[in-house]
């Protein structure tokens, strides 16, 4: 059965499709459909595009009439509301506004006054969400879909491949993985988990036969000041970066669930994150700031 690997860049990340199909032409057809789906979601939800739906939503902040949203976006907001509730307010897609203070390229820490000035604009509970209408009550508020749309896209592409008749393949969007199906011989995909302190290196290798895997960490985007690392992952309640864990990898039935769980675990820190994942019953691999591994996916010593 012909196999095809296709590398591309999307959503600010290197991506790759691994597909098996009956013919090269079929592989090409499915690959083109998959790339079109990723591009569609990026156009729709990127806050860096002025023509995106995300930018339209944010431009209406402070408008008492709000904005009416389509079913796909409504489902994503329903999911965000559920994640906010179950995480105790730590998974909050309104917290992206804090990055106005945290410029990772600046080489400096923001003043506490800068963060305090933004805190009133943060809080999912401040929004009015009555499907299909969303209202951001305060001018300057923002929603940022970047914390989970890449994982959603991985699941969508895997589902699209199956809808188009493929039964074997793997979707990799910047390290967020969704399985189309195992290799044709039934074997699982072997995937490497990035070492948070060794660029290009792997800290573990895991088998993935179905579902998805996602990793959250402090390594891709961070601020280094006086030798100390400040993650791009910000606690919405304090406005300050998370501490305690260097990365968390989670396996789940869907990449979206895995990504949300790994992000919340990072936000809860070393002890709180472990307890959170244990309560969810999701397999995980956790790496603390010293490089120590723990979790049910950790290799045996």
What pLDDT, on a 0 to 100 scale, did the predictor assign at position 131?
95
Instruction: Provide the total of helices (H) and of strands (E) in the chain, helices listed first.
Output: 6, 15
Q: CB of 177 within 8 A of CB of 208? A: yes
Q: How far apart are CA 183 and CA 189, in angstroms?
A: 7
Stated pTM of the model: 0.95
Starting at the earlier edge strand, list the strands of the sheet with 133-135. Answer: 67-68, 133-135, 128-130
Domains defined along the chain, listed by start: 1-43+150-187 (3.10.520.10), 53-143 (1.10.3980.10), 190-301 (3.10.520.10)
Q: How far apart are CA 254 and CA 248, in angstroms?
A: 16
Q: Along the chain (301 residues), what's the average pLDDT of each consecutive run of 10 residues?
A: 88 95 91 97 96 97 98 98 97 95 84 96 97 97 96 98 96 96 96 82 90 89 78 92 91 97 94 91 91 82 52
What pLDDT, on a 0 to 100 scale, did the predictor assign at position 207?
93
What pLDDT, on a 0 to 100 scale, did the predictor assign at position 144?
96
| Closest listed residue to residue 236, CA positions, set 67, 159, 105, 123 | 123
What pLDDT, on a 0 to 100 scale, did the predictor assign at position 2?
72
What pLDDT, on a 0 to 100 scale, did the predictor assign at position 300?
56
């Amino acid at each position: 059965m012909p196999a095809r690997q296709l590398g591309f860049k999307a959503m600010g990340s290197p991506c790759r499709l691994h597909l098996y199909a009956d013919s090269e032409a079929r592989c090409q057809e499915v690959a083109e459909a998959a790339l079109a789906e990723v591009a569609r979601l990026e156009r729709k939800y990127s806050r860096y595009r002025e023509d995106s739906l995300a930018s339209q939503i944010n431009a209406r902040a402070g408008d008492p009439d709000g904005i009416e949203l389509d079913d796909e976006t409504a489902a994503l907001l329903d999911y965000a509301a559920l994640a906010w509730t179950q995480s105790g307010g730590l998974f909050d897609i309104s917290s992206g506004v804090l990055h106005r203070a945290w410029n990772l390229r600046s080489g400096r820490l923001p003043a506490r006054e800068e963060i305090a000035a933004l805190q009133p604009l943060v809080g999912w509970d401040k929004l009015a969400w009555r499907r299909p209408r969303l209202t951001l009550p305060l001018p300057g508020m923002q929603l940022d879909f970047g914390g989970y749309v890449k994982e959603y896209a991985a699941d969508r592409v895997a589902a699209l491949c199956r809808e188009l008749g493929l039964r074997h393949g793997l979707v990799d969007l910047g390290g967020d993985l969704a399985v189309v199906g195992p290799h044709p011989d039934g074997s699982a995909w072997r995937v490497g988990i990035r070492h948070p302190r060794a660029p290009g290196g792997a800290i573990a290798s895991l088998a993935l036969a179905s579902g998805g895997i996602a990793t959250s960490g402090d390594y891709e985007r961070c601020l280094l000041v006086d030798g100390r690392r400040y993650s791009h992952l910000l606690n919405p309640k304090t406005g300050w970066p998370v501490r305690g864990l260097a990365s968390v990898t989670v396996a789940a039935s869907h990449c979206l669930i895995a990504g949300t769980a790994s992000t919340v675990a990072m936000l809860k820190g070393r002890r709180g994150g472990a307890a959170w994942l244990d309560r969810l019953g999701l397999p995980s691999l956790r790496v603390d700031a010293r490089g120590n591994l723990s979790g049910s996916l950790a290799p045996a010593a």
